[in-house]
Every structure is written in structure tokens, then in C-alpha cells.
Amino acid sequence: MSDFAGMEELLQDFLVEAGDLLSGVDNKLVDLERTPSDRGLLNDIFRGFHTIKGGAGFLNATELVTLCHLTENLFDKLRNGELEITPEAMDVILAATGVVREMFGSLEAGSQPAPAEAELIDRLKRAIAGELERASDDEGGERATAANFGELLDAGSGPDWDQLHAVVSGTALAPAAEKPPLEMQMHADVAGKTPEQIIQAAVGRRASDKPGYTGPVGRRDAEKSRENSIRVDTTRLDQVLNLSGEIGLTKNRLNALRSDILNGKTDTETVHALDVAVSQLDLLVSDLQNAVMKTRMQPIGRLFQKYPRIARDLARSLGKDVELVLAGEDTEIDKTMIEDLSDPIIHLIRNAVDHGVEDGAERTANGKPLKSEVRLEARQEGDHIVILIADDGRGMNAERLRAKALEKGLITDEEANTMDERQSFNLVFLPGFSMASQVSDVSGRGVGMDVVRTNIQKLNGTIDIRSTLGKGTTFVINLPLTLAILPVLLVRVGDQPLAVPLSMVREILPITAGQVQEVGGRATMVVRGEVLPILPLATMLGWEIDRTPEYGVLMQTAEQSFILAIDSFAGREDAVIKSLDDFRPKGVAGVTTLSNGQIVLILDMKELLQSQASRRGLPRSRLIGSVQLAA
């Protein structure tokens, strides 16, 4: 039975508010480390802990109150000038926030949190008394553990969480009878921690939790249940209510007109009134749909706010000076997509801090500022959201990437010789690709990156890489604004209409015999100097249709551009996607219903392309027919 029977609503409200407060405190702590004399930050952090303490008191969460009270006392002395911020004080403060987040996890699970470690309480009390000693510089053994932990993480399919727990608990270094040193128990002393440990503490998940996500970082089930809630501006709800009322009035008008028509009243005035009412209903339904969609939109800044703490702790563990710069935090995106973006972005930030930026000595030798910058930016471009994760580090070496892929047998010599720089960068997304076995300009790139791309593609998005050797790397994620409605282009193969995502469509072209060229036995077309393969949609679907395709749709994915050969077009629609849970044919993302009631398949072009990876086009004679070829 829950410890909070009868207080469930109060508990959920507290977790939402306190979670936001703690994320804000984490970010302010990162800023405070750079500007320790900022009184405004000190006051804000003090108020954050004070507010969390007050809410915990209502829930009788005594241990959480105790921890927040001690941290609040420390900040009271800091803001009054009685104490100064030191690295050791910052370590113990960050340790406290990590434990507070763990206590939130206990509350989410419906139980009172356990007391904080006695060592943490002792360090907080000594910090308040100004007696906190400088931490030991002897980190060799811990760094060795971090290296071993890194091997577990780079295994490809994800870490062994039982082994991971052994490393986190310190049993890999200490006999069972010995208690691990304080530095191994506390989140704050990041010098001996690995990136995954730091991330887990920052997002509030214990290392022993079994994640449902197949990537590098999981998420607690309790946290997931809380994330099902959503905050909506009352103005938007008022708009939905007003539109619903107007639709009700229009429905009444239509019912009255229907009654008149059934009674034989079919004069011009009645028909015109019917036409006006239908047009008004169409407009109102469209407005209501847009208003409801906006209730799902949330500022992406709520996702971004957890990352400065993660980047700070990762950088400290690696002995680097890295600043995470956030931009576009007010950009709105579908709530469900925000949740699914969390883990891929964490992995990309980890790559940027761990492998992208150089250490201080290398940056100084290359004439770069000692402090590295990682930029996380979001912006809206048309009906898409673009997210950038950029670093000013060493960049990626295309030649070394190709050589490593060849060595692992992931590509052939012929493919390596024809790859351009962009295709070479995308090699890091291949399953099993890794540069972690050697220290080089691209060391570690690609470990788990196939999982990142897979999760981005599940959101109907794409990820691309831009990199300049010696200057840095940028990962570019393109996502639709929402997953609920998908703009599609309706095409026909024979008499069968099919839907393809409009986001992949660049333009529509006619296909004539004179334009088609045979290159390597495959049909191609030259579009503004670019030689593109022609892929008949009927062949990709495994259909046998003898007619010659007359039109081509120039399609573009993150990996390639091609011309999709079709017979004709049926228009454009904003499709409401319905998934096929019980049976989903390969290459089909879902179905939608057209305005005429016809059910149409929505194609998963990426999956169709993967199944046709060995077929970049068809022989010219197959495409345009022997008669035209002879002509």
C-alpha cells in the first residue's frame, strides 16, 4: 500500500513543481560555478531548496526535509557572505541535489525516501561550519574503474546493468567487507565517475534500474507515469471551448437545413444556406484541430534544462572545461516527442563532451581557447523542428571513418571509393561501427549512434552530420512539429493510391525516354547536374505492373536522394495516422482515411529503401520498355 493514500493528487502536483524547481537549481548551480559572487543566483537557489522543503513537509517526507534544510542553511551563509563558493562546497551541493532527485524517485514509487548517506550529511554540516577539507587528488584507481566501465558501455547493445551496479557500488575495487571510499559513493565527486553514472544521477535514475529504452540511458517507470501529464495554457483551453461551442451551433443549423430539405424545401436559398453551413463547419473543425494540436505543444526548454548539469559533470570527470550553451528554448514541439528525444540528445551531448572536444593541452597546442563550447539549439523551420548539437572540437576525419568501416567489413572497397564526405560521416550510424579501439581524431564516434538514429527515425525525423576537421562537428536533427498529423503526397501505382511523407518530397518531375540514362546497368536521371537513381515504387512494393511510370517524385532522406517512379498523383492530404498494431506489412507506417472514405496505406520510405539496399535502380529497358529504348 502506498505511503500517500489519500494524498495522490498533492503528491503528483509536488513532483511536477519540485522536479521543475530542481532542474532549474541544477542549471543555476552550473552558472554559479562560473560566477560564484552572483547574489541573484545564490538567492534563487536558496529559494528553490526552501520551496522544495516546504512541499516535502506537507507530505511528511522527513528525510527530504532534513536534506533540503541543511542545503538551504548552507546557501543562507553563502548569500550572506559568511562563506564562499569553493570546488569542494560545489561538490557537496551537487551531491545533495543528486540525492534529492533520488528521493523524488522514491516518492514517485509511492514510498517515503530513505535517509541520505551519513557521509553526505556530515559533509554538508562541515560545509556549513566552513570546515570542509579539500578533496584528495588521488584518483588513479577510480579512473581505472571508469575505464573498465567505459568498456561495458561500448559493448554495442548497451551495458550489463548488473556489472554496472558492481562498478558504481565500488565492489570492483574494494573487497566485500570493506566500505567503498566516500568519493566512490557520492555523485558529486565526478572525478572517478563515468559518463553514464553522471547522466544517471543527473536525470534521477539509479544504476541498478532496468531501462526499457535500448539506448544508453533509461527512464524510471514511475517517472514515465508522471510524464503522461501535460500543462496547458488556459488561453488555449478557452479557444478549444469557444470553437466547440461554435461547432455545436453550426451542427444545429445543419440539422435544421436537413429537416427543411427532407420536407421538400430545395430552393436556391436553402441550398446556398447549406453550402455556407458546410463551409463554416469545415473551417471550424480545421481551427479546432489546430487548437487541440497546440495543447500538445510544449517548450523544448523543459527538456533542455537538464543538460547543463550533465555536461558540467561529464566535463569535470574528464578533466575538461566545457560550457553548454542553450538556444531556442521557447521553441515548441509535440509533448510526446519531447519525451522520446531525451535519451538520444543525452547520448549526443555525451559524445560531444567525451569525444568531440579536446582536452586543455590539445586545445592550447592548436591555438584554441581553453574552454570548449557545446551548443544545443532548437528552432522551427516551416513545419519542422531543427535541433543542433554542435561542438568546437577536433572534428571528424572522413578518411579514417572509411578505413575503419572497411576494416570491420561494413563496406566494400568499391563503396569506400565512391563515398563523399557526407556519406563517410554517416558511417558512424552503422550498427557495430566504432572507433573506440584506438585514440584518434574520431575516437569513440559511433558507439550507440545506430540506436540514436533508430529512435530519431521512429519520430519520423532525420539526423545528419556536418563536420570540419580541426573545427568541430554538428549533428542536425530534423523532426515534424507533431506526430499526430502527417502531411502526405498521394500517389498512384496503377489504380491504387498510396501516401508518402511530404517532408521527404523535394519536387515532382515527368519521366521521358530521352531523360533516362543507363549507368552501371541501372536507370538514372540527371537533375541539375546530379545523377539520381530511379526507383519504381511498384518494384519496391514487389508488385508486377507492366505499364511504364510517367512521373517521378524527387525524394530526399538523410542518406541519399532518389527519384520515385509512379504512375500518377491523387493530391495532398494532412493524414491522421492510424497504426497497425496486430499486423504491419514491411514498408507500411500506418493507414489513413481520405475525405472520400477510402483507406490508404502510408508508406515507410526508409524501411522500403533498406529492403532494397542492393537495388539502386532498375535496368533502363525494364523501366521505360523495349519499344521506347529501341527508338
In this structure, what CATH number is given to the domain that contains residue 515? Answer: 2.40.50.180
Is the entire prediction scored with pTM above 0.75? Answer: no
Residue carrying the nine cell digits 529512435: 455
Q: Answer yes or no: do 324 and 452 share one domain.
A: yes
Q: Answer yes or no: do 340 and 421 share one domain.
A: yes
Considering the domain boundaries, does residue 79 fall inside one? yes
Residue 16, pLDDT > 90, answer no
**What gap in Å lies between CA 629 and CA 449, rounded to an integer?**
45
Considering the domain boundaries, does residue 229 fall inside one? no
State pLDDT tens for residues 561-578. Answer: 888 888 888 888 877 777
Q: How confident is the model at residue 475 (pLDDT cuts 50, 70, 90)?
A: very high
Q: Rounded to a whole number, what is the distance in angstroms from the first to the last CA of the chain?
A: 82
Over range 536-550, report the average pLDDT: 80
pLDDT at residue number 551: 87
pLDDT at residue number 383: 67
Residue 329, pLDDT > 60, answer yes
Q: Answer yes or no: do 446 and 530 share one domain.
A: no
Residue 567 DSSP class: S
pLDDT at residue number 495: 81
Task: Quote the mean pLDDT of the chain.
Answer: 76
Query: What are the grid coordinates assigned to 308, written together?
Result: 547543463
DSSP per position, 325-387: EEE-TT-EEEHHHHHHHHHHHHHHHHHIIIIISPPHHHHHHTT--SSEEEEEEEEEETTEEEE
Over range 26-40, report the average pLDDT: 85
Contact between 85 and 78 under an 8 Å Cβ cutoff? The reply is yes
Contact between 14 and 58 under an 8 Å Cβ cutoff? The reply is yes
| Domain region containing 185 | 140-219
Residue 377, pLDDT > 90, answer yes
Q: Answer yes or no: do 472 and 503 share one domain.
A: no
Q: Which of 54-58, 324-328, 439-443, 484-488 comes out lowest in average pLDDT?
A: 439-443
Q: Answer yes or no: do 122 and 144 share one domain.
A: no
Q: Which of 480, 507, 541 is the last residue of a domain?
A: 480
Q: Answer yes or no: do 84 and 164 share one domain.
A: no
More confident position, 71 or 607: 71
Q: How confident is the model at residue 228 (pLDDT cuts 50, 70, 90)?
A: low
pLDDT at residue number 246: 92
Query: What are the grid coordinates assigned to 614, written together?
Result: 542492393
DSSP per position, 3-61: TTTT-HHHHHHHHHHHHHHHHHHHHHHHHHHH-TT-HHHHHHHHHHHHHHHHHHHHTT-
Residue carrying the nine cell digits 466547440: 244
Considering the domain boundaries, does residue 364 fall inside one? yes
Residue 357, pLDDT > 70, answer yes
Q: Answer yes or no: do 200 and 252 share one domain.
A: no
Percent of the chain with pLDDT over 70: 76
Q: Which of 111-125, 353-367, 383-397, 414-428 comes out lowest in average pLDDT?
A: 414-428
Q: Which of 417, 445, 480 is the last residue of a domain?
A: 480
pLDDT at residue number 436: 59
Q: Answer yes or no: do 523 and 417 share one domain.
A: no
pLDDT at residue number 391: 93
177-184: list long-range contacts, CB under 8 Å, 24+ apart. Answer: 182/119, 182/123, 183/135, 183/136, 183/139, 183/142, 184/142, 184/145
pLDDT at residue number 229: 67
DSSP per position, 441-502: TTTTTTTTHHHHHHHHHHTT-EEEEEEETTTEEEEEEEEES-SSEEEEEEEEETTEEEEEEG
Residue 559, pLDDT > 90, answer no
Q: Which of 480, 510, 540 is the last residue of a domain?
A: 480
Which of helix, strand or coil describes residue 548?
Answer: coil
pLDDT at residue number 99: 92
Residue 43, pLDDT > 80, answer yes
Residue 172, pLDDT > 70, answer no
Contact between 350 and 313 under an 8 Å Cβ cutoff? The reply is no
Considering the domain boundaries, does residue 254 fall inside one? yes
Contact between 487 and 497 under an 8 Å Cβ cutoff? The reply is no
pLDDT at residue number 584: 66
Over range 366-388, report the average pLDDT: 88
More confident position, 78 or 383: 78
Q: Answer yes or no: do 44 and 120 share one domain.
A: yes
pLDDT at residue number 582: 63
Which of helix, strand or coil describes residue 87?
Answer: helix
Percent of the chain with pLDDT over 90: 11
Q: Answer yes or no: do 543 and 574 share one domain.
A: yes
State pLDDT tens for residues 380-418. Answer: 886 678 999 999 998 988 888 888 888 878 888 888 888
Q: Which of 182-191, 441-450, 466-475, 607-616 comes out lowest in average pLDDT?
A: 182-191
Count of structural domains, the chain: 5
State pLDDT tens for residues 192-208. Answer: 455 455 455 555 443 33
